[in-house]
């Protein structure tokens, strides 16, 4: 199973709402990532978890809050977002960093902030 799943597929939220994005993988990978992708642009790294600990935060605003409850799950909690936060949010995972660097991406959550 080389699949990363993400829910929901689409999300529309107002600027005062609180919502969460979910990501799951069952490949035994120990690193998980959140990326943001705007239209016609490459993915931009937001957060990296390694062995369930936050390793990288690319200076992301605090209205985005990541959480890694266990090695298979990754959440992104959203609060008080701005319209410019509308984008495709991608989750990815990769094996133990000492062994390989391949990242496997999920299908993404298309987020619209109104």
Partner 1 sequence: GENVEQHPSTLSVQEGDSAVIKCTYSDSASNYFPWYKQELGKGPQLIIDIRSNVGEKKDQRIAVTLNKTAKHFSLHITETQPEDSAVYFCAADTGGFKTIFGAGTRLFVKA
Q: Which residues bind partner 1 (CB under 8 A)?
A: 4, 31, 33, 40-43, 45, 48, 50, 55-56, 90, 92, 97, 101-108
The residue among 46 and 78 lying less far from partner 1, judged by its C-beta, is: 46
Dist CA 53 CA 49 (whole Å): 5
Dist CA 89 CA 32 (whole Å): 13
* Helix (H) / strand (E) containing 31: strand 31-37
Nearest approach in angstroms of CB 47 to partner 1 is 10
The residue among 3 and 61 lying less far from partner 1, judged by its C-beta, is: 3
Nearest approach in angstroms of CB 16 to partner 1 is 29
The residue among 18 and 97 lying less far from partner 1, judged by its C-beta, is: 97
Q: Which residue has the tokens 């931009």?
A: 44
- Tokens for 95? 């094996």
């Amino acid at each position: 199973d080389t699949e990363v799943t993400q829910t929901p597929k689409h999300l529309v939220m107002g600027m005062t709402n609180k919502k969460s994005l979910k990501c799951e993988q069952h490949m035994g990978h120990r690193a998980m990532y959140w990326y943001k992708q705007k239209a016609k642009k490459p993915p931009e790294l937001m957060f990296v978890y390694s062995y369930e600990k936050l390793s990288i935060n690319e200076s992301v605003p605090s209205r985005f809050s990541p959480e890694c409850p266990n090695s298979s799950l990754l959440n992104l909690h959203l609060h008080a977002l701005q319209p410019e936060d509308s984008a495709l949010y991608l989750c990815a995972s990769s094996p133990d960093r000492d062994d390989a660097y391949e990242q496997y991406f999920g299908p993404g959550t298309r987020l619209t902030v109104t």
